[in-house]
Amino acid sequence: MAKHIKPWSGRFFDSLAKTAEAFTSSIHFDVRLYEHDIVQSIAYAKTLVKAGVLTATEAKKITAALETIKREIASGKLALSPELEDIHMNIETFLINKVGEIGKKLHSGRSRNDQVATDLRMYVKAEVASIVDGLNKFQGCLLDLADNNLKVVMPGYTHLQRAQPVLLSHHFLAYYEMLKRDKERFLAVALEADVMPLGSGALAGAAFGLDREALARDLGFAKVSRNSLDAVSDRDFAIDFNSAAAVLMMHLSRLSEELIIWSSYEFDFIELSDKYTTGSSIMPQKKNPDIAELSRGKTGRVFGNLLGLLTTLKGLPLAYNRDMQEDKEALFDSVDTVKAVLSIYVEMLATMKVNADVMKAAAKKGFLTATDLAYYLVGHDVPFRDAHAIVGKIVAFCEESNMELEYLSLKQLKEFSDAFGYDATRVLSVESSLANRDITGGTAPHRVKEAIKRARKELLHDQA
């Protein structure tokens, strides 16, 4: 392999130790920035023509060579070298090898500090678009599940104890709302990343008369950075990406937990497809929800990426420090993890079987309409706290008698309060309880249908 001369070797007498070279190289992970770096360099060449640094002919040769380099990296024809430290120096070296001395002009006024900051922002904008697309598909899957299970009743839980009956569709719509907020967070990250640092140089700004506003337009940025020191050292957008990813993974981890519980023998609310479960190497009967478990487990690594990046940046003085090389792996890993989980999760949910009869049977046990009975008393001038105590005694009676609330007679109810009338027993059914939640955001069937319709319209707008 030919020995590469470092671009900064002029003031050094000794070559960098091989161990130090390996330790400082980032090419093994920042290679994924190569397209953004080349697109940026092509636009920068155009800007240098306006600034009088390059001629139009030189820029044309540089642009053609960069396009060729992009294709050759994609095909694997060009071998990236760790000796050249990073993707920027690899591409610059390839360029000089192709066009000679004029290739050395491209870095005029540019530093790897503003170069990598620009690449990362371009990368984040592109990945946010991909993740938002994945979130749209996930939300669509949830709406399909809600549509297909409109008549399925299940117990709603607090403290993992049966609380009140809800529609399974209503439950799925809760996750739709979580993902809606996640989408808004990621879109906010894209807006924050939509600021171009290029032209900031190493820290003080470029010495050439660069038209940064035109350069930003060429690269698809809405704004240019307003302070060169901040521009090269700012990684808030990467932190916010990791933060949005962490919240999303927290939501998916909660869903994973529910699917894991629901698919257990004790619950039997759902059955996950064989395609998305695994068996045991020792116990023949096992069917393990590994996709859900791994999704839950991968949440920890995304949380760790956020904390790691915050810790890396917390003590850095302005402007750029080599510590900031550590920003990429945390960002890249969160991108890969989120995209992988979103993709496999949609496949798993689309093939999931709902055991509607089991869910409904569970909703009929555990005194889930006790609150409705208390509300009945409130409607007959009994203060809520008194009504609560009365119904609590009724539940205790039912437990001792091994019976459910809906089987109580009016005579039995009157033993606890004279406020119970002929219509009291009507509120004890699961169906009555659902119908009574006829309020915006409630689980009444027609409210849930309205929510699905509204969400469909909203999702179509988001996808437009």
Assigned token pair, 36: 């953004």
Helix, strand, coil tally for the chain in percent (to 5): 65, 5, 30
Asked about 159 being catalytic, the answer comes back as: yes
Helix axes 327-350, 112-148, angle to 10 degrees: 20
Which residues are CB-neighbours of 437 under 8 A, at least 6 positions away? 443, 444, 447
Q: How far is CA 408 from the centre of its chain?
A: 48
Q: Which residue among the candidates 75, 159, 281, 461 is catalytic per the annotation?
A: 159
- How many whole angstroms separate alpha carbon 407 and alpha carbon 411? 12
CB distance 205 to 109 below 8 Å: no
Q: Which residue among the candidates 9, 264, 280, 401 is catalytic per the annotation?
A: 280
Between strands 353-354 and 270-271, the pairing is: antiparallel
Q: Helical H runs in 168-235? A: 168-193, 212-219, 228-233
- How many whole angstroms separate alpha carbon 212 and alpha carbon 232? 15
- How many whole angstroms separate alpha carbon 219 and alpha carbon 212? 10
Phi and psi at 36, nearest 5°, equal -65, -40
Q: Which residues of 213-231 are buried (b: 16+ CB within 10 A; e: fewer)?
A: eebbebbebeebbeebebb
Q: Helical H runs in 314-444? A: 327-350, 356-363, 370-378, 384-401, 410-414, 430-436
Q: How far is CA 229 from the centre of its chain?
A: 30
Asked about 280 being catalytic, the answer comes back as: yes
Longest alpha-carbon distance in the chain: 101
Catalytic site positions: 159, 280
